[in-house]
Structure 1
């Protein structure tokens, strides 16, 4: 069995690697050659934590396995990230454990890659202003990955606690983009692409905030009850997701489904756009929304890529379990 420690992953996988892995697995899902298994995600009744499993099997890449982990909101005070996870890969022919991979950085990279894939396929080509809603651990990853997909000229951002935007400002500066903290009203009026990456249980971005032609990547809602954007905004947009079943039950679309303003048939798979089986953006003034719920196959795809790279570069640890 191969072990790839968390500390080695940053030097192994690039944003381009993560983008390719996630784009490929979305395409496989739409072709029905890859399947996500039902998600288990529960409050454990301790440390205000959410814990669960995401798993699946990609028959094309032979990635079989699961990610175990969740969200511990008190971890920041301990000097560690709130998101904690580990990926387990299994040999598809024998069922033996093939690899154990640190999942914290990979979760941030694959989540950012999913947003970037949505921008690559759905955002207007002339998008110039990138808006970020939220300033948690994953926000800077989102900024860097999405900024590579269009010729953005500046970044505007909002967070409930404005002082936490310093990290985003630094990330924008590192890639040469001017940065400004703004109100939600200003953000919606200026941004051509908006990424929401919060853990909110009530809408932050409202329908009236968003102008025609915007692409939204809603990346924070992955649990029943969570909500980043107003249901009326979801109903106004053309909808795409990683997996429809998750989108309508634990994703951003759950609330519009519940109030009847959206039906399951209104939500398309981003993989279908990638494969050319569904149109993406059809008009310059159309609002497109990607509901990124996070699927286990994304984790397996990036973990599989990391294992291959670790073996190639000689940093994989091998353990005999027999």
Structure 2
């Protein structure tokens, strides 16, 4: 096979035998081998490992690069239970939408925990979307009322359809209500609902709060979009858009009145949705529970049908590493991974 690695796409590289060389798994292959069930299992398992102390995230590096208005950074960690070590490298390029590219761009790099040798390079764009949706789905599975019937969606960007599809699999929903600051984008969610035969309605935020049993917020907002007084008792809310200092999607008073769960407490209080409630003294760090404790059975989770539960999904590196590791294993098993030796 002629040409350098740079001259060939991932798809053109020869299939890899499991354990041989460095595995290369492209975006296209990730989409082929990692579906919602695989992502759900990977994310649920790593949340459990984090709560038990078997997995931990390293400090996040995230910087504005001073070019193209881009944010760039690294998320990394080690999962001793799953024997996964690596780093996700990437960021946010807001101008990509005009180039017909996804604004979020990333690659996951996995290493052998026993030797430190490079093991795999994995496309991270699709996996970021599917692992974020899996996180909210895990929260719904473990915290939402069993009789939840109306799903509310706040936000209709690229990530929203991943969130919608994953959420609809967790309960016997009968209707979807949605709001977006730019109503024209709600057609994305409406199309998914039409495909799945699910009734859909575009509503104002107050009505969404009054109707929905489960609400997912997935926006890039810097101000509260949902107020405490709009939310009915027994609602489960998954806040999935706040991952940077200053971002905000819901009223801090709502967090103060809810039972708050998260992927990682340190991120929740610093860059997650809880940052504002903690900073204003409405919520204490000790009031926030890692969702892995619910998964492991060391915390009861929802206590009754009137309790409002809230999941602060900040997005941790171990989620990316977990789904990337699953992608490598599945791609190798199906002969779809590329191979290269350094």
Q: TM-score, normalised by structure 1?
A: 0.98
CA–CA distance in structure 2, aligned partners of residues 151 and 303 of structure 1: 30
The Cα offsets for residues 255-312 of structure 1, whole Å up to 9 and x where unpaired, read as: 0000000000000010000000011001111100000000100000000000001101
CA–CA distance in structure 2, aligned partners of residues 242 and 269 of structure 1: 6
Q: 2:119 pairs with 98, 101, 119, which one?
A: 98
Structure 1 moving runs of 4+ over 4 Å: none
1:295 match: 316
8 Å contact kept, 1:33–1:58:
yes
1:8 match: 29
1:278 match: 299
8 Å contact kept, 1:139–1:197:
yes
8 Å contact kept, 1:41–1:223:
no
CA–CA distance in structure 1, aligned partners of residues 193 and 64 of structure 2: 35
The Cα offsets for residues 111-138 of structure 1, whole Å up to 9 and x where unpaired, read as: 0000000000000000000001001110
Q: 1:19 pairs with 40, 43, 54, which one?
A: 40
Residue 264 (str. 1) matches residue 285 (str. 2): yes
CA–CA distance in structure 1, aligned partners of residues 79 and 55 of structure 2: 4
1:159 match: 180
1:84 match: 105
Q: Secondary structure at the match of 2:109?
A: strand
Q: Secondary structure at the match of 1:54?
A: strand
1:144 match: 165
Q: Secondary structure at the match of 2:233?
A: coil
Residue 240 (str. 1) matches residue 261 (str. 2): yes
2:15 match: none
The Cα offsets for residues 175-230 of structure 1, whole Å up to 9 and x where unpaired, read as: 22111111001110100000000011111111122111100000011111111111
Compute the displacement of 1:43 (Å).
Answer: 2.0
After the TM superposition, which of the residue ranges 38-47 and 231-240 deviates more from structure 2? 38-47
2:83 match: 62
Compute the displacement of 1:51 (Å).
Answer: 1.5
Compute the displacement of 1:173 (Å).
Answer: 1.7
Q: 2:145 pairs with 112, 120, 124, which one?
A: 124
Structure 1 unaligned residues grouped into runs of 5+? none
Matches within 5 A, 1:205-220: 205-220=226-241
Structure 2 unaligned residues grouped into runs of 5+? 1-21
1:30 match: 51
